[in-house]
Amino acid sequence: MQVPNQPLADRMRPMKLDEFLGQEHLVGKGAVIRKMVESGNVMSFILWGPPGVGKTTLARIIANQLKRPFFNLSAVHSGVKDVRDTIEKAKKQQFFNQPNPILFIDEVHRFNKSQQDSLLGAVEQGIITLIGATTENPSFEVISPLLSRCQVYILNPLSKDNLLQLVQNALEKDVLLRQVKIEILEYDTMLQYSGGDARKLLNILELIVNAEISDHPQKEKEIKIKIANKKVADIVQEKIALYDKNGEQHYDIISAFIKSIRGSDPNAAVYWLARMVEGGEKPEFIARRMIILAAEDIGLANPNALLLATNCFQAVHMVGWPESRIILSEAAIYLATSPKSNSAYQAINDAQELVMKTGDLSVPLHIRNAPTPLMQELGYGRDYKYAHSYEGNFVPDDFLPKEILNKKLYDPQDNARENELRQRLRNWWKERYGY
């Protein structure tokens, strides 16, 4: 069996929405993208989701079903000139009543501001319909003018059933695989190494089949391949790097990094940091995750952690590789060795849950804003006690709606800093909140 030039993942790429696996909330019956395709009126949008869930495939299906010209750019390899050249090509393909071409930009979050700016006019004038794909939150990575011209659709990780169906489809329908007798005894290791990435799962399947075929002198049709966990592990560990050098397969590593810091292990934190550094991960991505962790997991136990993490983000943005690794290491070690508290995180969670349960409670009259005479007459702001006019800059008053008066949402945890806060709150509020 000759190893084909076209990878299995490309050979199995669906061409119709009905063949597309997963993302029922977007492409299922009555879902938003299916409606757009059926109406023929496709607006510019951005697909946000993990690698290998079908972003590129979905864009190609839309262009194919609508019979529109399709231009494909990768933000990793394309610059402003490439964008402008593509837009000029799109202009030349505009004829009377012809729908505009689709421009698909993979990893659109990697475009800098000037590259994204170069798209604005063409999107706004309808020269092209932009479909962007990103693994990063567009709110952080896509400029506001472009984001305002595009809908954002979130793609979910593929389910186990989706992935198993994908493999079964390949065994039954692929013109090359169906020539060989393949029996899959165990799926667990294949699924584990794929990380939910459909493309990677098919690559692993193809890798194993090709490895088995190369070890057998028999004719292809006589070969019987049985795939079990150990065989998958042996072949994959030999052939595939476990960290994608393009930074796409970073979810497990960043998870290990964050959990090591949360677990107060600076040695593990620096190890996983090194894995990301060697893998070519973006320093801003690592620093941004540490900002979130500083607020969520350290919080008021050490408020300086958030300041240092924020400064770290600003510093690596200015410096870049390779020196950023030192800044990131300092921040990671500091966060890992800081006392931990998730009291601020828990407080806002509890407060949001309370809001959902209690609805739109009225603001007490005495703490409402009173900018007009009528509001003053209605009692807005009346009897408000200005804290700075009282001893110690504090006066007990009612600041919550009466329906939830005395409800405690912030609960200090047992660390030096928050023990001080607990005592201060106890001195102020006595028994009111149970501090």
pLDDT of residue 310: 95
pLDDT of residue 217: 54
Q: Amino acid letter at 373? A: P
Distance of CA 298 to the CA centre of its chain: 22
Distance of CA 416 to the CA centre of its chain: 35
pLDDT of residue 186: 87
pLDDT of residue 180: 82
CA dist 407 → 54, 182, 244, 394, 419 (Å): 46, 63, 48, 19, 20
Q: How far apart are CA 71 and CA 132, in angstroms?
A: 12
**pLDDT, tens digit (0-9, with 9 covering 90-100), for 162-201:** 999 999 999 888 888 888 888 888 888 888 888 788 888 8
Sign of CA dihedral 89, 95, 100, 102: negative
pLDDT of residue 52: 83
Nearest to 110 by CA among 82, 90, 151: 82
Q: How far apart are CA 88 and CA 58, in angstroms?
A: 24
Q: How far apart are CA 172 and CA 182, in angstroms?
A: 10
Q: Amino acid letter at 226? A: K
**Under 8 Å CB-to-CB from 317, ≥6 apart: which residues?**
283, 284, 287
- pTM > 0.85: yes or no: no
Q: How far apart are CA 213 and CA 193, in angstroms?
A: 21
pLDDT of residue 245: 46
pLDDT of residue 219: 55
Q: Collect the ranges in the chain with pLDDT lower than 50.
A: 1-4, 241-243, 245-248
Q: How far apart are CA 205 and CA 261, in angstroms?
A: 35
Which domains are assigned to the chain?
22-154 (3.40.50.300), 160-239 (1.10.8), 251-336 (1.20.272.10), 352-429 (1.10.3710)
Reading the block at residue 364, the tokens are: 């007490």
**pLDDT, tens digit (0-9, with 9 covering 90-100), for 239-288:** 554 445 444 456 778 888 999 999 888 888 998 898 888 777 788 889 99
Q: How far apart are CA 80 and CA 432, in angstroms?
A: 61
Strands 102-106 and 70-74, sheet pairing: parallel
Calculate Rg over the CA atoms of the chain. 28
Q: How far apart are CA 165 and CA 147, in angstroms?
A: 34
Give yes or no for a cis peptide into 322 (omega within 30° of 0). yes
Q: How far apart are CA 78 and CA 105, in angstroms?
A: 9
